[in-house]
Amino acid sequence: MDAATINYEAFREEVRDFALTRCPPEIRAVVATYRKLSRKVWYPWQRILFEHGWGAPSWPREFGGTGWDQRQRVIFDEVMAECDCPPQYHHGLRHLGPVIIEFGTPEQQARFLPGILNGEDWWCQGYSEPGAGSDLASLRTTARLEGDEYVVEGQKTWTSHAHESDWMYTLVRTSKEVKKQQGISLLLIPLNSPGITIRPIRTIDGWHHVNEVFLDQVRVPVANRIGAEGQGWTYGKFLLERERLGGANIAPHHKALERVRALVAQELKGEGRRAERELLQHRLLRAEAELLGASELGRESVEAVIEGRALGMLPAVIKLSTSVTMQTISQVALDAVGERLAPRFRRIEGEGPNAEAPGIEWVQNYMYARVRTIYGGSSEVQKNVIAKQLFGM
């Protein structure tokens, strides 16, 4: 179907109706209260989507995707956020799947794609290392070819969901003889392989999202390499290209803003707290203006992609701007509840005496929000990217 024959408003209603009737209330409650999205929450929802034929909105139809166009995918993501459904941000689905579809062999496609689609296989991304963060191409985990196996040695870090994943798609160095981007390959490594140790990283928000993954003489069949040896960097860039609209969906940000607005009204009720309330409301209003500007840039990005035009600096601008606005929103929430709740910060979800204190998630959210200007290309990296374009040097 081409864009002229698709009724996008009817599509939006169809998605909304599905989200509200088919996404279990307990799952939506996890999203609405910003509790940790784990495989336990994601998997059942992915299963429901899969059974409805919506398991992979961004994949082509022949691989079990929906075949939706860009605008439909944007609508899908927006409605999911508006309805508090878990964002379909699984590493397998959004990141690895498209790479296997583009560069994998038919055997690899047949072996890996079904498990990603139905949610039975859970994936994590082995990219960052202790010495390779923003400068990812400096990675040093090596893979040495021995017969029909690679022997992998090294360490990954900041590995989200490694503790609940079955597989890690991993960038490894297969050559030191060439330019640093050219000696990198992409391997699919089962996490139950001998020689793998996963250790949780304790983060300041008290949640367990990220891990260190140690690889000690891990043997990986050559058949698990995607594409050619030494081309891993290209696939990583392909993936980023696919994800360039990732930041264009501002619906979750608007949702957070509305929640904090309600929180401020609830927490600072009455004439006696009017001045405090209005100060915070003013800050939220300024944040809303920033989000409205970013939404428009998101809209322009979607139009540009649909029309096949270059996005230029838009993704960097949207990332820079919305990451700070989300931090602002979380700061306002903390200012509203902090006196009551900051002393009762809970370390791990669902445990300890303060786990059920109403609104306790905002303390955690504030701490978590600090990462928004660090991950996905830190603000400093984004500014370097923008400055290079602006100055032409």
Partner 1 sequence: MSFQTTPIVSGDTYEMAHRFAREVEQELAGIADPAAQAAILEKRWAQLTALGWTVTAIPEEAGGAGGDLGELAALAGGAGRAGLALPIASACGVVPALLAGQAALADVAHGAMRVAVILPGAAQDDPAGALRGGATLDGAVVGIETPPTPTHLLIVLEAPEPLMLLVPVTTPGIESASYLRIDGRMAADFRFAAIPINPSWVLARGPAVLQRAAAARDLGALLTCIECVAAMGALLEQTIQYLLNRVQFGAPLASYQALRHRVADMYVEYESLRGITARALRAAAQGEGEPWQAIAFAKLRLGEAGRAVAESAIQAHGGMGMTEELPAIRLCKRLMMADFEYGNRVFQAARLLADAA
Pairing of strands 149-156, 142-146: antiparallel
Pairing of strands 123-126, 167-173: parallel
Smallest CA-to-CA distance from 33 within 357, 367, 341, 375 is with 357
By CB under 8 A, the count of residues binding partner 1 is 32
For residue 333, how many other CB atoms are within 10 A of its CB?
Answer: 28
Query: Is residue 10 a contact point for partner 1 (CB under 8 A)?
Result: no
Binding to partner 1 in span 246-275, by CB under 8 A: 261
Minimum distance from residue 297 beta carbon to partner 1 (Å): 5
* Whole-angstrom distance, CA of residue 193 vs CA of residue 21: 40
Choose the stretch contacting partner 1; rule: CB under 8 A; options: 49-57, 107-115, 136-144, 375-383: 375-383
Q: Which of 37, 313, 367, 374 binds partner 1 (CB under 8 A)?
A: 313
Pairing of strands 184-190, 225-226: antiparallel
Query: Is residue 37 a contact point for partner 1 (CB under 8 A)?
Result: no
Q: Which of 83, 297, 304, 363 binds partner 1 (CB under 8 A)?
A: 297
For partner 1, the closer of residues 39 and 71 by Cβ is 71
Minimum distance from residue 332 beta carbon to partner 1 (Å): 14
Q: Which of 118, 142, 181, 281 binds partner 1 (CB under 8 A)?
A: 281
Q: Please name the residue ranges forming H helices in the chain.
A: 8-22, 25-32, 39-51, 70-82, 97-103, 106-118, 232-242, 251-267, 274-306, 314-341, 361-369, 379-391
Query: Is residue 320 a contact point for partner 1 (CB under 8 A)?
Result: yes
> What tokens were used for 70?
């860009």
Q: Which of 87, 195, 221, 293 binds partner 1 (CB under 8 A)?
A: 293
Residue 201 gets which letter from DSSP? P
Q: Are 143 and 220 in contact (CB under 8 A)?
A: yes
267 carries an active-site annotation: no
Q: Are 101 and 63 in contact (CB under 8 A)?
A: yes
Choose the stretch contacting partner 1; rule: CB under 8 A; options: 9-17, 34-42, 121-129, 278-286: 278-286
Query: Is residue 386 a contact point for partner 1 (CB under 8 A)?
Result: yes
Catalytic residue among 14, 149, 243, 276: 243
Residues that bind partner 1 (CB under 8 A): 261, 278, 281-282, 285-286, 288-290, 292-297, 300, 313-314, 317, 320-321, 380, 382-384, 386-387, 389-393
Active site residues: 243
